[in-house]
């Protein structure tokens, strides 16, 4: 899921993080996709990233099946019986920017406290109301994630993108891979660690490491620096998983752990 500033219905969340390098320095690429229907006008999703020099990665916003191809085969954590029938291209500048990105208008901020200062640059149809609820959410992120960088993904009445919001950043700790997993879509500040229903497909990748699930892309993105050739991960369908980000030691990914074994390695 994600954290929204106003009440919304969120589902079909798929996400990935990919450890790679740029100019000899570690870079993590993270993509996040879901479907959303806001219940009260313009809305936005908060996504936090554990690093600096946050940039949009150009290219994924033109894909159509990229995230499905990457995550469809990931094993579920809870068994539920069913009936069966290139190189980086960055946008924006460091620090603070407002950009159109596929089905979203995106604010990128090195500090959560800067987000509200550029909210008026978001088109009216996608702009969330600058309310006390939104200010409380910003204060929450400043308090709990003060060292992170932020994306505020703004959308209108509904968002059914076929592409992820994809960013790159320099991780504070290259020894872990982190995916935004904090959940709350009632417009209220979320409670970290509280048991919540999880509905995430979560993929992890490391450049140069062959992992259990080879990815065959229909979008012709093979060889692009933001598209891993193989991944590991899981589909988190726990009815009462702890609310929070997915943080995994990179060595657990290198070892090819998957499914419940990988989930057990979460920090």
Tell me which of 36 and 232 has the higher pLDDT. 232
For a pLDDT cut of 70, what percent of the chain falls above it?
A: 93
pTM beyond cutoff 0.85: yes
Distance CA 31, CA 29 (A): 7
pLDDT at 42: 78
- Mean pLDDT calculated for residue range 236-254: 96
pLDDT at 35: 87
- The helix or strand, by DSSP H or E, that contains position 30, with its residue range, turns out to be strand 25-38
pLDDT at 237: 93
156: confidence class by pLDDT, cuts 50, 70, 90: confident
Q: What is the pLDDT of residues 91-112, one digit of tens each?
A: 554 579 999 998 899 999 999 9
Q: Are 45 and 36 in contact (CB under 8 A)?
A: yes
Distance CA 205, CA 225 (A): 12
Full domain range(s) for residue 109: 3-264
39: confidence class by pLDDT, cuts 50, 70, 90: low
Q: What is the pLDDT of residues 113-141, one digit of tens each?
A: 999 999 999 999 888 888 888 999 999 99
- Mean pLDDT calculated for residue range 179-191: 91
pLDDT at 85: 35
Asked if the model's pLDDT at residue 212 lies above 80, the reply is yes
**Nearby residues of 96 by Cβ (< 8 Å), 6 or more positions away:** 107, 108, 109, 110, 114, 117, 118
pLDDT at 22: 85
Number of structural domains found in the chain = 1
Asked if the model's pLDDT at residue 75 lies above 90, the reply is yes
**Nearby residues of 196 by Cβ (< 8 Å), 6 or more positions away:** 183, 240, 241, 242, 243
What are the tokens at 102? 């596929």
pLDDT at 161: 80
pLDDT at 84: 38
């Amino acid at each position: 899921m994600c954290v929204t500033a106003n009440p919304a219905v969120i589902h079909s969340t798929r996400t990935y993080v990919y450890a790679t390098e740029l100019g000899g320095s570690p870079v993590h690429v993270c993509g996040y996709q879901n479907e959303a229907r806001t219940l009260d006008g313009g809305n936005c999703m908060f996504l936090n990233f554990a690093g600096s020099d946050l940039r949009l990665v150009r290219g994924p916003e033109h894909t159509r099946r990229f995230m499905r191809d990457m995550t469809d085969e990931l094993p579920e954590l809870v068994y539920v019986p069913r009936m069966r029938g290139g190189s980086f291209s960055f946008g924006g500048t460091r620090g603070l920017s407002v950009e159109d990105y596929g089905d979203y208008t995106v604010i990128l901020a090195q500090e959560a406290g800067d987000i509200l200062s550029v909210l008026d640059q978001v088109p009216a149809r996608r702009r969330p109301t600058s309310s006390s609820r939104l200010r409380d959410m910003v204060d929450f992120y400043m308090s709990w994630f003060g060292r992170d960088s932020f994306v505020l993904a703004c959308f209108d009445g509904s968002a059914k993108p076929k592409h992820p919001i994809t960013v790159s950043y320099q991780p504070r700790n290259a020894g872990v891979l982190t995916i935004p997993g904090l959940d709350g879509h009632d417009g209220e500040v979320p409670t970290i660690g509280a048991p919540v229903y999880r509905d995430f497909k979560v993929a992890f990748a490391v450049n140069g490491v062959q992992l259990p699930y080879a990815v065959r892309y229909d979008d012709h993105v093979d060889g692009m620096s933001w598209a891993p050739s193989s991944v590991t991960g899981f589909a988190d369908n726990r009815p009462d998983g702890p609310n929070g980000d997915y943080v995994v030691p990179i060595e657990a990914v290198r070892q090819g752990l998957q499914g419940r074994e990988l989930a057990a390695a979460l920090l």
